[in-house]
Amino acid sequence: MASIHIDQVSKIYDGGVRAVKSIGIDIADGEFIVLVGPSGCGKSTLLRMVAGLETISEGTVSIDDRIVNQIEPADRDIAMVFQNYALYPHMTVYDNLAYGLKNRKTPKVEIEARVAEAARMLEIEPYLKRKPRALSGGQRQRVAMGRAIVRKPAVFLFDEPLSNLDAKLRVTMRGEIRKLQRRLGTTAIYVTHDQLEAMTLADRLVVLNGGAIEQIGTPLEVYHRP
Ligand code: ADP
Ligand code: ADP
Protein backbone atom coordinates (compact mmCIF):
# COMPACT_ATOMS: atom_id res chain seq x y z
CA MET A 1 0.00 0.00 0.00
CA ALA A 2 1.07 3.55 -0.57
CA SER A 3 -0.17 7.10 -0.56
CA ILE A 4 0.55 9.33 -3.54
CA HIS A 5 1.04 13.06 -3.38
CA ILE A 6 0.84 14.94 -6.69
CA ASP A 7 1.97 18.48 -5.96
CA GLN A 8 1.39 21.29 -8.49
CA VAL A 9 2.58 19.17 -11.39
CA SER A 10 2.85 20.59 -14.91
CA LYS A 11 4.04 19.21 -18.23
CA ILE A 12 5.25 21.38 -21.07
CA TYR A 13 6.29 19.27 -24.08
CA ASP A 14 9.11 20.31 -26.39
CA GLY A 15 7.46 22.68 -28.80
CA GLY A 16 5.45 24.30 -26.03
CA VAL A 17 2.27 22.20 -25.62
CA ARG A 18 1.13 22.66 -22.01
CA ALA A 19 -0.43 19.22 -21.54
CA VAL A 20 -0.83 19.32 -17.73
CA LYS A 21 -1.31 22.54 -15.77
CA SER A 22 -0.50 22.73 -12.04
CA ILE A 23 -2.39 19.64 -10.95
CA GLY A 24 -2.52 18.68 -7.26
CA ILE A 25 -4.12 15.45 -5.98
CA ASP A 26 -3.63 13.61 -2.69
CA ILE A 27 -4.36 9.91 -2.99
CA ALA A 28 -4.86 7.78 0.13
CA ASP A 29 -3.53 4.27 0.80
CA GLY A 30 -5.66 1.74 -1.09
CA GLU A 31 -7.73 4.38 -2.88
CA PHE A 32 -8.94 3.82 -6.48
CA ILE A 33 -8.66 7.09 -8.43
CA VAL A 34 -9.98 7.46 -11.98
CA LEU A 35 -8.69 10.17 -14.33
CA VAL A 36 -11.44 10.85 -16.86
CA GLY A 37 -11.93 13.35 -19.67
CA PRO A 38 -11.87 13.73 -23.46
CA SER A 39 -8.96 12.68 -25.67
CA GLY A 40 -6.04 15.11 -25.37
CA CYS A 41 -6.98 16.46 -21.89
CA GLY A 42 -3.70 15.24 -20.37
CA LYS A 43 -4.72 11.96 -18.65
CA SER A 44 -1.95 9.84 -20.15
CA THR A 45 0.68 12.48 -19.61
CA LEU A 46 -0.22 12.79 -15.93
CA LEU A 47 -0.21 9.01 -15.47
CA ARG A 48 3.14 8.65 -17.23
CA MET A 49 4.62 11.33 -14.99
CA VAL A 50 3.47 9.37 -11.91
CA ALA A 51 5.05 6.24 -13.46
CA GLY A 52 8.28 8.13 -14.03
CA LEU A 53 8.00 7.48 -17.80
CA GLU A 54 7.83 11.18 -18.59
CA THR A 55 9.89 14.02 -17.17
CA ILE A 56 7.99 16.44 -14.94
CA SER A 57 8.34 20.08 -16.03
CA GLU A 58 7.18 21.61 -12.73
CA GLY A 59 6.13 20.23 -9.33
CA THR A 60 6.72 16.83 -7.73
CA VAL A 61 5.09 13.41 -7.40
CA SER A 62 5.79 11.54 -4.16
CA ILE A 63 4.91 8.00 -3.18
CA ASP A 64 5.05 7.50 0.59
CA ASP A 65 7.13 10.66 0.93
CA ARG A 66 9.69 9.54 -1.64
CA ILE A 67 9.92 11.79 -4.69
CA VAL A 68 9.44 9.51 -7.75
CA ASN A 69 11.64 11.63 -10.01
CA GLN A 70 14.55 10.71 -7.72
CA ILE A 71 13.92 6.94 -7.70
CA GLU A 72 15.50 4.76 -10.41
CA PRO A 73 12.75 3.30 -12.69
CA ALA A 74 13.65 -0.28 -11.70
CA ASP A 75 13.31 0.58 -7.99
CA ARG A 76 9.88 2.14 -8.30
CA ASP A 77 7.25 0.04 -6.61
CA ILE A 78 4.77 0.58 -9.47
CA ALA A 79 3.19 -1.69 -12.08
CA MET A 80 1.45 -0.34 -15.15
CA VAL A 81 -1.19 -2.02 -17.36
CA PHE A 82 -1.62 -0.75 -20.93
CA GLN A 83 -4.39 -1.13 -23.52
CA ASN A 84 -2.12 -2.98 -25.93
CA TYR A 85 -1.24 -5.57 -23.20
CA ALA A 86 2.55 -5.19 -23.83
CA LEU A 87 3.14 -8.97 -23.68
CA TYR A 88 6.27 -10.61 -25.11
CA PRO A 89 5.00 -12.54 -28.16
CA HIS A 90 7.84 -15.12 -28.22
CA MET A 91 7.43 -16.08 -24.53
CA THR A 92 4.86 -18.37 -22.93
CA VAL A 93 2.29 -16.94 -20.54
CA TYR A 94 4.32 -18.37 -17.64
CA ASP A 95 7.48 -16.61 -18.84
CA ASN A 96 5.59 -13.37 -19.44
CA LEU A 97 4.39 -13.49 -15.83
CA ALA A 98 7.81 -14.47 -14.45
CA TYR A 99 9.86 -12.00 -16.49
CA GLY A 100 9.80 -9.00 -14.14
CA LEU A 101 10.57 -11.18 -11.12
CA LYS A 102 13.50 -12.89 -12.89
CA ASN A 103 14.92 -9.47 -13.71
CA ARG A 104 14.78 -8.62 -10.03
CA LYS A 105 16.67 -11.81 -9.17
CA THR A 106 13.74 -13.28 -7.23
CA PRO A 107 14.44 -16.91 -6.14
CA LYS A 108 12.92 -19.53 -8.49
CA VAL A 109 10.61 -21.11 -5.87
CA GLU A 110 9.20 -17.70 -5.03
CA ILE A 111 8.66 -16.92 -8.73
CA GLU A 112 6.78 -20.21 -9.13
CA ALA A 113 4.60 -19.50 -6.10
CA ARG A 114 3.77 -15.95 -7.16
CA VAL A 115 2.99 -16.91 -10.76
CA ALA A 116 0.76 -19.75 -9.51
CA GLU A 117 -1.08 -17.39 -7.16
CA ALA A 118 -1.64 -14.75 -9.87
CA ALA A 119 -2.72 -17.38 -12.39
CA ARG A 120 -5.24 -18.76 -9.89
CA MET A 121 -6.67 -15.32 -9.06
CA LEU A 122 -7.06 -14.48 -12.75
CA GLU A 123 -8.17 -17.99 -13.81
CA ILE A 124 -5.47 -18.30 -16.47
CA GLU A 125 -3.88 -21.50 -15.12
CA PRO A 126 -4.87 -23.55 -18.23
CA TYR A 127 -2.95 -21.17 -20.52
CA LEU A 128 0.42 -20.93 -18.78
CA LYS A 129 2.22 -22.89 -21.52
CA ARG A 130 0.66 -21.00 -24.42
CA LYS A 131 2.08 -18.05 -26.33
CA PRO A 132 0.03 -14.82 -26.33
CA ARG A 133 -1.05 -15.28 -29.97
CA ALA A 134 -2.99 -18.39 -28.92
CA LEU A 135 -5.11 -16.39 -26.46
CA SER A 136 -8.26 -14.31 -26.86
CA GLY A 137 -8.23 -10.57 -26.15
CA GLY A 138 -9.74 -11.08 -22.70
CA GLN A 139 -7.21 -13.78 -21.82
CA ARG A 140 -4.35 -11.53 -22.95
CA GLN A 141 -5.67 -8.73 -20.80
CA ARG A 142 -5.73 -11.10 -17.81
CA VAL A 143 -2.10 -12.02 -18.48
CA ALA A 144 -1.24 -8.30 -18.60
CA MET A 145 -2.99 -7.91 -15.21
CA GLY A 146 -1.08 -10.95 -13.97
CA ARG A 147 2.22 -9.33 -14.89
CA ALA A 148 1.26 -6.39 -12.72
CA ILE A 149 0.09 -8.39 -9.69
CA VAL A 150 2.95 -10.92 -9.47
CA ARG A 151 5.22 -8.08 -8.45
CA LYS A 152 2.91 -7.12 -5.56
CA PRO A 153 3.53 -3.43 -6.24
CA ALA A 154 2.43 -0.62 -3.94
CA VAL A 155 0.76 1.16 -6.87
CA PHE A 156 -1.18 0.04 -9.97
CA LEU A 157 -1.39 2.41 -12.93
CA PHE A 158 -3.91 1.61 -15.67
CA ASP A 159 -3.87 3.37 -19.05
CA GLU A 160 -7.21 2.56 -20.76
CA PRO A 161 -6.57 -1.16 -20.17
CA LEU A 162 -9.95 -2.34 -21.47
CA SER A 163 -10.43 -0.24 -24.59
CA ASN A 164 -9.46 -3.06 -26.97
CA LEU A 165 -12.07 -5.45 -25.55
CA ASP A 166 -15.68 -5.86 -26.60
CA ALA A 167 -18.39 -4.25 -24.46
CA LYS A 168 -19.43 -7.39 -22.59
CA LEU A 169 -15.89 -8.37 -21.66
CA ARG A 170 -15.16 -4.80 -20.60
CA VAL A 171 -17.89 -5.00 -17.99
CA THR A 172 -16.61 -8.34 -16.68
CA MET A 173 -12.97 -7.25 -16.56
CA ARG A 174 -13.90 -3.95 -14.91
CA GLY A 175 -15.48 -5.87 -12.05
CA GLU A 176 -12.49 -8.17 -11.77
CA ILE A 177 -9.96 -5.35 -11.72
CA ARG A 178 -11.86 -3.70 -8.87
CA LYS A 179 -12.18 -6.98 -6.96
CA LEU A 180 -8.47 -7.72 -7.26
CA GLN A 181 -7.50 -4.19 -6.30
CA ARG A 182 -9.71 -4.36 -3.17
CA ARG A 183 -8.40 -7.78 -2.23
CA LEU A 184 -4.75 -6.69 -2.59
CA GLY A 185 -5.30 -3.22 -1.10
CA THR A 186 -3.16 -1.69 -3.85
CA THR A 187 -3.48 2.05 -4.49
CA ALA A 188 -4.62 2.58 -8.09
CA ILE A 189 -4.82 5.31 -10.71
CA TYR A 190 -6.93 4.40 -13.74
CA VAL A 191 -7.19 6.43 -16.94
CA THR A 192 -10.28 6.23 -19.16
CA HIS A 193 -12.32 8.43 -21.49
CA ASP A 194 -15.43 6.32 -20.70
CA GLN A 195 -17.70 8.01 -18.13
CA LEU A 196 -19.60 4.84 -17.26
CA GLU A 197 -16.35 2.98 -16.63
CA ALA A 198 -15.12 5.89 -14.51
CA MET A 199 -18.30 5.94 -12.40
CA THR A 200 -18.30 2.19 -11.84
CA LEU A 201 -14.67 1.95 -10.78
CA ALA A 202 -13.79 5.09 -8.88
CA ASP A 203 -13.59 5.81 -5.18
CA ARG A 204 -12.85 9.31 -6.43
CA LEU A 205 -12.99 10.78 -9.92
CA VAL A 206 -10.73 13.47 -11.31
CA VAL A 207 -12.31 15.11 -14.36
CA LEU A 208 -9.64 16.74 -16.51
CA ASN A 209 -10.18 19.34 -19.20
CA GLY A 210 -7.44 21.10 -21.14
CA GLY A 211 -4.77 19.82 -18.76
CA ALA A 212 -6.47 21.11 -15.59
CA ILE A 213 -8.81 19.63 -12.98
CA GLU A 214 -12.41 20.50 -13.77
CA GLN A 215 -14.00 18.48 -10.95
CA ILE A 216 -12.83 16.08 -8.27
CA GLY A 217 -14.96 13.96 -5.95
CA THR A 218 -16.86 10.70 -5.51
CA PRO A 219 -18.93 9.56 -8.53
CA LEU A 220 -22.04 10.77 -6.70
CA GLU A 221 -20.56 14.21 -6.06
CA VAL A 222 -19.32 14.61 -9.64
CA TYR A 223 -22.28 13.30 -11.63
CA HIS A 224 -25.23 14.36 -9.46
CA ARG A 225 -24.25 17.99 -9.19
CA PRO A 226 -26.77 20.39 -10.77
P1 ADP B 1 -5.06 12.05 -23.10
O2 ADP B 1 -4.36 10.92 -22.46
O3 ADP B 1 -6.07 12.70 -22.21
O4 ADP B 1 -5.63 11.70 -24.44
P5 ADP B 1 -2.42 13.13 -23.53
O6 ADP B 1 -1.80 13.21 -22.19
O7 ADP B 1 -2.06 11.98 -24.40
O8 ADP B 1 -4.00 13.23 -23.35
O9 ADP B 1 -2.13 14.46 -24.33
C10 ADP B 1 -2.31 15.77 -23.77
C11 ADP B 1 -1.81 16.80 -24.77
O12 ADP B 1 -0.40 16.70 -24.91
C13 ADP B 1 -2.37 16.63 -26.18
O14 ADP B 1 -2.52 17.93 -26.72
C15 ADP B 1 -1.29 15.85 -26.91
O16 ADP B 1 -1.30 16.08 -28.29
C17 ADP B 1 -0.04 16.41 -26.24
N18 ADP B 1 1.07 15.42 -26.24
C19 ADP B 1 1.05 14.18 -25.72
N20 ADP B 1 2.23 13.57 -25.84
C21 ADP B 1 3.04 14.48 -26.46
C22 ADP B 1 4.40 14.46 -26.87
N23 ADP B 1 5.18 13.38 -26.67
N24 ADP B 1 4.90 15.56 -27.48
C25 ADP B 1 4.13 16.66 -27.67
N26 ADP B 1 2.83 16.75 -27.30
C27 ADP B 1 2.29 15.67 -26.70
P1 ADP C 1 -3.26 8.01 -25.95
O2 ADP C 1 -4.11 6.93 -26.53
O3 ADP C 1 -2.61 7.65 -24.66
O4 ADP C 1 -3.90 9.37 -25.92
P5 ADP C 1 -1.89 8.73 -28.35
O6 ADP C 1 -2.27 7.71 -29.37
O7 ADP C 1 -2.53 10.08 -28.34
O8 ADP C 1 -1.99 8.10 -26.91
O9 ADP C 1 -0.31 8.96 -28.40
C10 ADP C 1 0.57 7.87 -28.55
C11 ADP C 1 1.99 8.39 -28.32
O12 ADP C 1 2.25 9.55 -29.11
C13 ADP C 1 2.23 8.79 -26.88
O14 ADP C 1 3.51 8.32 -26.48
C15 ADP C 1 2.18 10.28 -26.87
O16 ADP C 1 3.08 10.84 -25.91
C17 ADP C 1 2.65 10.64 -28.26
N18 ADP C 1 1.99 11.86 -28.73
C19 ADP C 1 0.68 12.18 -28.61
N20 ADP C 1 0.44 13.40 -29.11
C21 ADP C 1 1.64 13.84 -29.58
C22 ADP C 1 2.06 15.04 -30.22
N23 ADP C 1 1.21 16.05 -30.46
N24 ADP C 1 3.34 15.16 -30.58
C25 ADP C 1 4.20 14.17 -30.33
N26 ADP C 1 3.87 13.00 -29.72
C27 ADP C 1 2.62 12.85 -29.35
ipTM of the complex as predicted: 0.72
Query: φ, ψ for residue 216 (rounded to 5)?
Result: -145, 135
HSE on the CB side for 58, CA within 13 Å? 11
- Rounded-to-integer distance, Cα 69 and Cα 61, Å: 7
pLDDT tens for each residue of 124-160: 999 999 999 999 988 998 999 999 999 889 999 999 9
Q: How far is the CA of 48 from the centre of ligand 2 (A)?
A: 11
Task: Name the percent of the chain lying above pLDDT 90.
Answer: 72
Beta-sheet pairing, 155-159 with 78-82: parallel
Q: How far is the CA of 14 from the centre of ligand 2 (A)?
A: 13
Does 96 or 100 have the greater pLDDT score? 96
Mean of all residue pLDDT scores within the chain: 92
Q: Is 41's C-beta closer than 6 angstroms to any atom of ligand 1?
A: yes
- Measured from the alpha carbon of residue 163, the closest ligand is 2
Smallest CA separation from ligand 1 atom 20, residue = 45
Smallest CA separation from ligand 1 atom 17, residue = 19
Question: What confidence category does residue 218 fall into, taking pLDDT thresholds of 50, 70 and 90?
Answer: very high
Q: How far is the CA of 142 from the centre of ligand 1 (A)?
A: 27
Q: Is 44's C-beta closer than 6 angstroms to any atom of ligand 2?
A: yes
Beta-ladder partners of 187: 155
Over range 74-101, report the average pLDDT. 89
Q: Is 39's C-beta closer than 6 angstroms to any atom of ligand 1?
A: yes
Is the predicted pLDDT of residue 225 greater than 70, yes or no? no
Ligand 2 nearest atom to the CA of residue 39, by list position: 4
Radius of gyration of the chain, Cα coordinates, nearest whole angstrom? 17
Question: What confidence category does residue 223 fall into, taking pLDDT thresholds of 50, 70 and 90?
Answer: confident
